[in-house]
Amino acid sequence: MAEIVRMPKMSDTMTEGVMAKWHKKVGDKVKSGDVMAEVETDKATMDLESYWDGTVLYIGVEEGKAVPVDAVIAVIGKEGEDYKAALDAETGSTPAKEDKTADKPADEAAPAPAAAGLTDADIEKMGVTVVRMPLLSDTMTEGVIAEWHKKVGDKVKDDDILADVETDKATMEVMGYAEGTLLHIGVEKGQAAKVNGIIAIVGPEGTDISGILSQGDAPAKPAADQKSDAPVAEKTAAPSTESSSEKEEVSADGSRVKASPLAKRIAKEKGIDLKQVSGSADGGRIIKKDIENFKPAEKAAPASASAAPAEKAAAPLPVYVGEEKFTEKPVTQMRKVIAKRLSESLFTAPHFYLTMSIDMDGAIAARTKMNEFAPVKISFNDLVLKAVAIALKQHPNVNSSWLGDKIRYNEHVNIGVAVAVEDGLLVPVVRFADGKSLSRISAEVKDFAQRAKAKKLQPADWEGSTFTISNLGMFGIDEFTAIINPPDACILAVGGISQVPVVKNGAVVPGNVMKVTLSCDHRVVDGATGSAFLQTLKALLEEPVRLLI
């Protein structure tokens, strides 16, 4: 019988996996224990083993594609076996889906022709212009009609202002860029319309616009042979924030320069004089493409010296023409999980922060002496980790977790250590840290860091923390706040050691100070509890001999 292979859950935070590489293909023989593929999870790339003997009959996921946990990725069975029945039983057969649509009444099988039949070309042939709510700012989702300057039946010219629109940042003017009669107003004064929603229609008087209105706010279908030289978006592009005098550019012969608001805005940003630009749209109107293709070298030569004013003119400021660029990359599995878990933590757990300065003179001297005898080099981070572990034993309320209807007070101390890797952040766990020597802690942390960067960590390495430490001191950071790593109740953000003046015995002397910030889940840890923990941590690091008692 054919066996279905599903995407396994390889870690406690995994919701989907990316098929990094297939080691088998359809028709290959497999045995139980053979590695079929490599799967990239949110934290590592791991081997996917077969649990059956047989032949690979089906592969349902291409390399590089992501699929959710428990999704069907392959089928294994006897060579030549019909696996489709088993596969259909898991995924649902296509005919069944087709029957559902076939059983629908005729009036529900497809949308009305009037609602989906009009294309941009059809609307253009009608001589109609659909005015939509433009995107007037990067954060705008809707606009409120503050005032209509025209009413249904009024004649409209291409440079007439139809309405004032109130956005989230300013009140701006909307121009129709069309000539004809105002046939329809879709939003009353004081009401809001979503971006790209129909707010007005301009066209020949008496035109039947019911077909356009039946489509709602959905844009018309583009015609198959439509040219891309003058996009429809130019008709409804966001108007610029220029003053009315700037909008009415006048050429040398006294005629008005016609330009889309988007073209005007780009021209203003680039310092381009619209009078020097030739428009390629209907009626010589200047659009975005004309501004982008305009070269300053094409500007007319300056007037002769005899026409210059008597006084020497100030030297013109140089114009810098910039170009907006960006690169987009797919979000990695690791980054998806980091975003999801930390967003849930920050917006679910009520964070508060406690910062304390610690005199590290004693720790510096102790570390120097320890490294003369230690089998591995002990870092300041190792000292902090050991001190945190001992402090947690004295303050079990900090070594806890919020579980909704109860609080778990952990009697063991497992400390997660945040490690930066290329794609994000991993948090391997030093287990039972309170009972380990500094040399043992140092060796484990170094091993974790190497395997994390090589993506060789296993789920057991990053699960089960009761407290987390994030250290950015090596990057020159003085202090920062960190987001709690669920299900922990606290995380300690460790800054660098700074040489600063300090007061000792009434005198100002050079000192070495390190700032630490404890982020606390207020559902579990109160201010006094967190403060007591930091006081113990401070005492341990300022007198490191206490770490050995």
User: For the domain that residue 141 is a member of, what is the CATH number?
Assistant: 2.40.50.100
Domain membership of residue 262 (yes or no) is: no
Regarding whether 156 and 54 lie in a shared domain, the answer is no
pLDDT digits (tens, 9 = 90+) for 400-436: 999 989 999 999 999 999 998 887 888 999 999 999 9
Helix (H, G, I), strand (E, B) or coil at 170: coil
User: Is the distance from CB of 386 to CB of 441 less than 8 angstroms?
Assistant: yes
Strand partners for 352:
520
Distant-in-sequence, close-in-space partners of 331: CB < 8 Å, separation ≥ 6: 339
Regarding whether 516 and 424 lie in a shared domain, the answer is yes
pLDDT digits (tens, 9 = 90+) for 68-78: 888 888 989 88
Is the previous residue joined to 111 through a cis bond, with omega within 30 degrees of 0?
no
Catalytic residues: 522, 526
pTM, two decimals, is 0.56
> In this model, does residue 351 exceed pLDDT 90?
yes
Regarding whether 49 and 185 lie in a shared domain, the answer is no
Alpha-carbon distances, residue 184 vs 55, 135, 155, 199, 285 (angstroms): 66, 21, 12, 8, 25
**Cα–Cα dist 335/348, whole Å:** 19
User: Is the distance from CB of 20 to CB of 471 less than 8 angstroms?
Assistant: no
Distant-in-sequence, close-in-space partners of 150: CB < 8 Å, separation ≥ 6: 156, 160, 162, 163, 182
Regarding whether 183 and 128 lie in a shared domain, the answer is yes
User: Is the distance from CB of 366 to CB of 541 less than 8 angstroms?
Assistant: no
Residue 44 tokens, joined: 């590592």
Band (pLDDT 50/70/90 cuts) for residue 128 is confident
Half-sphere exposure of 228 (CA within 13 A, CB side): 0
Regarding whether 47 and 180 lie in a shared domain, the answer is no
3-class secondary structure per residue, 248-281: CCECCCCCECCECHHHHHHHHHHCCCHHHCCCCC
**Cα–Cα dist 233/348, whole Å:** 41
Regarding whether 515 and 391 lie in a shared domain, the answer is yes
Regarding whether 419 and 527 lie in a shared domain, the answer is yes
Band (pLDDT 50/70/90 cuts) for residue 301 is very low
pLDDT digits (tens, 9 = 90+) for 80-107: 888 887 777 776 544 333 344 434 443 4
Domain membership of residue 286 (yes or no) is: no
Distant-in-sequence, close-in-space partners of 527: CB < 8 Å, separation ≥ 6: 352, 354, 520
What is the per-residue pLDDT for 92? 58
Distant-in-sequence, close-in-space partners of 347: CB < 8 Å, separation ≥ 6: none
**Cα–Cα dist 275/158, whole Å:** 18
Distant-in-sequence, close-in-space partners of 291: CB < 8 Å, separation ≥ 6: 263, 266, 267, 270, 272, 277
Other residues' Cβ atoms within 10 Å of the Cβ of residue 230: 19
- ∠ CA 266-270-275, nearest 5°, is 80
Regarding whether 137 and 74 lie in a shared domain, the answer is no
Other residues' Cβ atoms within 10 Å of the Cβ of residue 142: 14
Angle between helices 361-370 and 527-542 (to 10 degrees): 50
User: Is the distance from CB of 543 to CB of 362 less than 8 angstroms?
Assistant: yes
Domain membership of residue 516 (yes or no) is: yes
Domain membership of residue 299 (yes or no) is: no
User: Is the distance from CB of 279 to CB of 271 less than 8 angstroms?
Assistant: no
Q: Which of 60-69, 222-231, 314-323, 408-417 has the lowest mean pLDDT?
A: 222-231
Regarding whether 149 and 38 lie in a shared domain, the answer is no
Domain membership of residue 108 (yes or no) is: no
The range of the structural domain enclosing residue 169 comes to 120-208
What is the per-residue pLDDT for 359? 95
Regarding whether 70 and 189 lie in a shared domain, the answer is no
> In this model, does residue 115 exceed pLDDT 70?
no
* CATH code of the domain in which 500 resides: 3.30.559.10
Domain C-terminal end among 174, 208, 242: 208
Strands 161-166 and 171-175: antiparallel
Domain membership of residue 292 (yes or no) is: no
Regarding whether 411 and 529 lie in a shared domain, the answer is yes
Domain membership of residue 215 (yes or no) is: no
What is the number of domains present in the chain? 3
User: Is the distance from CB of 147 to CB of 189 less than 8 angstroms?
Assistant: yes
> In this model, does residue 224 exceed pLDDT 60?
no
Residue found by looking up tokens 């069907």 in the block? 72
**Cα–Cα dist 415/488, whole Å:** 10
**Cα–Cα dist 526/456, whole Å:** 38
| DSSP H or E run through 73 | strand 72-77
Phi, psi of 290 (to 5 degrees): -65, -40
> In this model, does residue 122 exceed pLDDT 90?
no
Regarding whether 523 and 457 lie in a shared domain, the answer is yes
Domain membership of residue 104 (yes or no) is: no
**Cα–Cα dist 279/263, whole Å:** 10
Q: Which of 56-70, 248-262, 435-449 has the lowest mean pLDDT?
A: 248-262
Domain C-terminal end among 71, 90, 109: 90
